[in-house]
Structure 1
Amino acid sequence: MIFSNFHNWALDETPSSPSQALWGRRYRIWLNLKSNPLAMIGLFIIAVFVFIAIFAPWLAPQDPSIQNLANRLAAPSAEHWFGTDELGRDIFSRILYGGRVTLGMVIAVVILVAPLGLIIGCVAGYFGGVVDTVLMRVTDVFLAFPRLILALAFVAALKPGVESAILAIALTAWPPYARLARAETMTIRNTDYIAAYRLTGASAARIITRHIAPLCVPSLIVRITLDMSSIILTAASLGFLGMGAQPPSPEWGAMIATAKRFIFEQWWVATIPGIAIFLVSLAFNFLGDGLRDVLDPKQN
């Protein structure tokens, strides 16, 4: 009954308030997204991994750092669902805790780069001229280097670790978002309603933050979701190369690095973390494709 009332209220063609119009738009986005099977599969996989990362201390059957050398490299069994690694640690528990590290790094990177790229792109697109030239040339410098190579250089200049990896990935991930926000801003800045705001005496800062940036957010959300897989792969690559999370941290890339010499005889030690990386990356791609169909007006 409550859901039916909300459904009718949200889909009312003549909303009586801005709040009703806003919720109506959100609900329509959800209905459109729900009609995309691949997007829902991606959302489900992401939700599962987020759930197990949050509740890892309660879901993990063993402490991920406890060693049992007498049971090292044990095959998957009822006692150890995903087997054990070279130090006898339970791989299933380490996968659960590793989701905290890997997904935490990804979330931290997005929190850092999304506002940075949005502001730089909006400022460059709105003001144009010298401001645009300077900001975009700085962006081009970062885009000229492969992301992983540049991230490795930043981490090497700092010190290996999770914090350094987050900062390095963030410093290399923001340019595409700035480019996208700039392109969106350049299509918006000369519209009639932006000109009307200027005539009312609104400052450039207010116009950018209150009226231009919010219009860039949907396209930015789509780009971030699609870019999540590359951020995950970069974080895992840094861990694999010894520049990210350090042992004994159960980060998925670091787990593969320590297990690579067992990949032919004890395949589960390296394969299970690889499957986790693959599933999460694929899920974000599925969800990103669905969000692009829903949020990007150029696709409609």
Structure 2
Amino acid sequence: MTQPSSRLRALVVGSGYRVRNAFLPALNLLDSHIEVVGVHSRTFANASRAAERWNVPAIEDPRTLRPGDIDLALVSVTVTNNVAVLRSLAHLAPGAALVIDTPGVGRLDDLARLAQFRRWAPIRVGEDFMNMPQYRLVGEAIRSGALGEVSRVAMSQMGYRYHALALVRSWLGLSAPTSARSRRVPGGVDIEYRFRGGRIGEVHEPYRQSEGSFSVTGSTTTLTGDPMGHPIPDPKGASLRRVEDDDGIAGFTLDGLDKPLHIDLPYQAALREMKLEDDSEFNLLRIDGLAQVISSLWTDDPLNSRYRLEDAVADNLVSWAARFMPWVPTPRF
């Protein structure tokens, strides 16, 4: 999908927390590129409430839409309902793109029904966690070679299940893990993912969302940080730092590199004005990440065009298995 000459027509499917506090706000940020033609949900009253907040129509029956009426479907329902929902939208799929929440597939027998997804092209996985702006900035530093050859990524209390594995992989060039080792700890598990070339990704629980720390070990320097850019004690090498103005967070900077890297947050002012149910700083940054996923449909994006539905499904299965087995071999999905 190339840069649209006119606004893309989008159908939103779902009416829960994620639609109200992520998908619809992200689409509002991208209003110059996308027109929301409607919100559909299993319960029409819920769809109406979600749609009214954004002054868009609620659609009771998607069969009233004809092939060609939409350019894009955004689906955020319970994972076990994804396949059934996509069946109900199948007549809209040819020629339209799909953005779907991770991991897409909720049961092993759903794997046999991946053809329901492949009707849509292109497909984007709504993995907003690995697209949060501070993590995009770290990824930029890694891809630029500023850290040298990366051998280890570690995150403590800031990543959970497939979201954590997706972020680790995004910083390791989307390489697939070859195995996973784990051990139970109070409140969760510690998992060590091994990758080709001896590289390692560590995820230490319990998960505390916007708290914790991360480190990326390269051959020339190590980059460390708090997930929200707050100061950490004794940073070794480079570090992530938040930048604030009178209204709050305004960007992130990587200090301690030969050439400092920075990312601005142009969406934050608009997001604060939306007065969302969840207006936490963490959620507003996740919305920024989801907007990045959606806009990758027409922009040159180094990550989301390569993170496939199959990657998300594999990350879900591997991270789930690693929580119950001390060693998991992970053949190529």
Question: TM-score, normalized by length of structure 1?
Answer: 0.28
In terms of fraction of residues, the more strand-rich structure is: 2
In terms of fraction of residues, the more helix-rich structure is: 1
The answer to which structure, 1 or 2, has the higher relative contact order (CA under 8 A, 6+ apart) is: 1
Larger radius of gyration: 1
